[in-house]
């Protein structure tokens, strides 16, 4: 069975994490066999922070301010995740710069066989749309997520489910969003150029309904016999 790799790219708030999750569910096998595995460095880092591990304590300040955590930490997380038994891997949030790309390519060289495929999917969303999506996002401690325009709570500033006060995620504050976007464009451009040159880049319009984007991704990957 081939071990294919799909790498999601896109600015913060592009919905790439959602698309990676939907694709992982689609490609997961029902029982027994190892299906595809999703590797989200953001999720892995947030889990370390929640579990108050040493790594979590070290990276908390980076996530709060929207800065990238030092490469050796995310590269280690990625290396460990690739040791899992899986039919293929879906990356969300890695690699994010040229050094991480180099580390990934070195590992894939020893991991992949002749017919295995690597594809990068860019979920394209404009900066204006990102600012609106993230700037109007509100969270509740119970886990509920609202959007002031698309999914507002019934009572302003209060969670519909548990009635606690809603808050804005630290990294959704305007200054932090602007910084995350700047980093995405600066560090991400060489990566997109690389996959483009390799003829492995699939560009998808991320300003469409979630289901439509998912269907387009599945159709393109099936066409290429990646899934
Ligand atoms: P995300 O959930 O992908 O938006 O990631 C949230 C935060 O986790 C980022 O703003 C970074 O601080 C950190 N992070 C996630 N992936 C990486 C990575 N590949 N390299 C460095 N930092 C990362």
Query: Which pLDDT belongs to residue 29?
Result: 60
Instruction: Tell me, using a 6 A CB cutoff, whether residue 55 lines ligand 1.
Output: no
How many whole angstroms from 155 Cα to the centroid of ligand 1? 32
Sheet holding 4-9, edge to edge: 36-40, 88-92, 4-9, 118-124, 201-205
Atom of ligand 1 nearest to the CA of 43: 2
- Provide the 10 A C-beta neighbour count for residue 97: 17
Predicted pLDDT of residue 169: 86
pLDDT at 30: 55
Per-residue model confidence (pLDDT) at position 1: 55
Which mutation among 12, 50, 63 tests ligand 1's pocket best, with the greatest number of atoms within 8 A of CB?
A: 63
In short, whether 19's Cβ falls inside 6 Å of ligand 1 is no
100 lines ligand 1 (CB under 6 A): yes
What pLDDT is stored for residue 206 in this prediction? 95
- Residue 63 C-alpha to ligand 1 middle, in angstroms? 7
Contact between 41 and 78 (Cβ < 8 Å)? yes
CA–CA separation, 27 and 5 (whole Å): 12
> Ligand 1 centre and the CA of 223: distance in Å?
31
pTM above 0.85?
A: yes
Residue 205, beta-bridge partner list: 124
d(CA 182, CA 185): 5
Q: Give the model's pLDDT for residue 170.
A: 85
- Residue 5, CA distances (Å) to 83, 184, 187, 203 in order: 14, 21, 21, 16
pLDDT single digits (tens) 114-125: 889 999 999 999
Report whether 86 contacts 35 (CB < 8 A).
yes
What is residue 34's predicted lDDT score, i.e. its pLDDT? Answer: 63
pLDDT in tens, 33-73: 567 889 999 889 999 999 999 999 999 999 988 889 999 99
What is the pLDDT at residue 23?
A: 92
Alpha-carbon torsion 137, 139, 144, 148, what sign? negative
Distance 70 CA to ligand 1 centre (A): 10
Between the CA of 68 and the centroid of ligand 1 the distance, in Å, is 6
Q: Point out the residues of the chain with pLDDT beneath 70.
A: 1-2, 28-34
Place of tokens 């394209």: 124
């Amino acid at each position: 069975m081939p071990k294919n790799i799909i790498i999601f790219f896109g600015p913060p708030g592009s919905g790439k994490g959602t698309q990676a999750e939907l694709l992982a569910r689609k490609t997961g096998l029902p029982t027994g066999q190892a299906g595809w595995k999703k590797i989200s460095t953001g999720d892995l880092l947030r889990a370390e922070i929640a579990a108050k591990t040493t790594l979590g304590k070290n990276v908390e300040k980076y996530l709060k301010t929207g800065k990238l955590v030092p490469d050796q930490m995310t590269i280690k997380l990625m290396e460990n995740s690739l040791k899992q038994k899986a039919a293929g891997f879906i990356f969300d949030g890695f690699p994010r710069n040229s050094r991480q790309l180099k580390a990934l390519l070195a590992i894939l060289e020893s991991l992949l066989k002749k017919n295995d495929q690597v594809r990068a999917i860019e979920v394209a969303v404009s900066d204006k749309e990102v600012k609106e999506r993230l700037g109007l996002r509100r969270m509740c401690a119970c886990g509920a997520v609202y959007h002031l325009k698309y999914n507002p709570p019934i009572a302003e500033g209060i969670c519909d489910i548990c009635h606690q006060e809603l808050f804005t995620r630290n990294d959704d504050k305007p200054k932090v969003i602007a910084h995350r976007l700047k980093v995405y464009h600066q560090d991400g451009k060489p990566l997109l150029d690389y996959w483009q040159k390799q003829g492995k880049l699939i560009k998808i319009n991320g300003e469409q309904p979630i289901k439509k984007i998912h269907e387009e991704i599945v159709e393109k990957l099936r066409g290429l016999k990646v899934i």
